[in-house]
Structure 1
Amino acid sequence: MNINQKKEIKSWVKTLTIGLGLAFGIKTFFFAPYIVDGASMEPTLHNHEKIFVNKLNFIDNFNRGDIVIIKGKEENYVKRIIGLPGDKIEMKDDKLFINGVLFKEPYLSQNLKLAKEMGTQFTDDFGPITVPKNKYFVMGDNRLVSTDSRNGLGFFSKEDIVGHSEFVFFPFSNIRDTK
């Protein structure tokens, strides 16, 4: 092996190391893929779909309706933010009230229709409950099967939120925005 070949190999190793370091840094701190596990977000997100998550939480604020990834004790969860810090949340007859005002949830229309056809309530009544300071209240879109802030997961802080779901990227036939 001559000197030029050694230099070229050294250059390739350096470039590859820098590239891998950048990829690791971007995935760790900025963007990451996640796999949806379960039916709690049906029909918005489906089991085994892969979503792209924006982890730039220090820049963005979280808004009502955002789909987020939350760090749990043993696993991560995909849920929708319903209540912001200080909000008073109440569910009555499948209608969500936030601070006493009816809040429309168009992403539930398909599920509400199915529940009505089955003669059942889609979301059990609860509240009013007040979301504590610096906490968020989340629910899945498939309220009949979702474990969320209502029934076991409780409230979450901003530090518990990994990031926002941006779009579904797999399966390729189903690429779509999740905002």
Structure 2
Amino acid sequence: MNSFTREMFSWFKSIVVALVLLYICRSFLFVPTIVHGESMMPNLQDGNRLIVSKVGSIHRFDEITFKAPDENANYVKRVIGLPGDTISMKNDVLYVNGRSYKESYLNPNRKTGVNLTEDFTLKDLTGKSKVPPNSLFVLGDNRTNSKDSRYFGFISKNAVIGKVEVRFWPFNEMEVMK
């Protein structure tokens, strides 16, 4: 082989290896996604670009992306209920398994003085008293403008694409999510 052929073959191998690594990363490790809509404001805004991890466990209050049960889209919402949890909202206070939670991530939306979330129990919304096995109950942070489990019910864990790990766009709002 002449030097030009060797150089081209070397470039070809490098490109193939890079494409294989990219495929493995996107299929099994992480995927980029875009926020559409205002349901997670002010924490996530329409047009934000995110890195979503496909590995690891999902915990209460994690932001996740999942296949929407009511349309051909992906949603980003916050996990409120895990399998076996009881959930209720009373006077704008979240109760999970009888314990109240402050939901400090809603503080920017609370400045209006109006209750963000109407009172409900899981039984009222879904007919079930607990989150079923392999299911999650999710809510948007912009509670007055979010299509979430209050409307479409539980989501299957199989519908989850992954957990939001990083916002990388816009650059001035780049952050590792808590």
1:142 is displaced (CA, Å) by 0.3
CA distance in 2, matches of 1:6, 1:177: 44
Q: Matched residue of 2:133: which SS?
A: coil
Q: Which structure carries more helix by proportion?
A: 2
Which segments of structure 1 move beyond 6 Å, counting only runs of 4 or more?
A: none
Which one-letter code corresponds to 1:18 in the other structure? V
Q: 1:44 to 1:87 in 2, by over 3 A?
A: same
Kindly indicate whether residue 107 of structure 2 is the aligned counterpart of residue 109 of structure 1: yes
Task: Tell me which residue corresponds to 2:88.
Answer: 90
Task: Tell me which residue corresponds to 1:178.
Answer: 177
Q: Matched residue of 1:41: which SS?
A: coil
1:8 is displaced (CA, Å) by 1.6
Task: Tell me which residue corresponds to 1:136.
Answer: 136
2:121 to 127, 143, 152: 127
Q: Matched residue of 1:173: which SS?
A: helix
Task: Tell me which residue corresponds to 2:36.
Answer: 37
Task: Tell me which residue corresponds to 1:8.
Answer: 7
Structure 1: any 5+ residue segments left out of the alignment? none
1:151 is displaced (CA, Å) by 1.1
Q: Matched residue of 1:26: which SS?
A: helix
Question: What is the RMSD of the two structures over their aligned residues, measured on CA atoms?
Answer: 1.3
Q: Percent identity?
A: 42
| Cα deviations by residue, 1:42-69 (Å, 9 ceiling, x for unpaired) | 111011011111111xxx2211010001
TM-score, normalised to structure 2, is 0.90
| Cα deviations by residue, 1:54-97 (Å, 9 ceiling, x for unpaired) | 111xxx22110100011125110000000010101001111111
| Cα deviations by residue, 1:11-36 (Å, 9 ceiling, x for unpaired) | 21121111112112212221111111
CA distance in 1, matches of 2:62, 2:45: 17
Q: Matched residue of 1:87: which SS?
A: coil
Q: 128-137 vs 82-91, which deviates more? A: 128-137
Q: Matched residue of 1:150: which SS?
A: helix
1:141 is displaced (CA, Å) by 0.3
Which one-letter code corresponds to 1:47 in the other structure? D
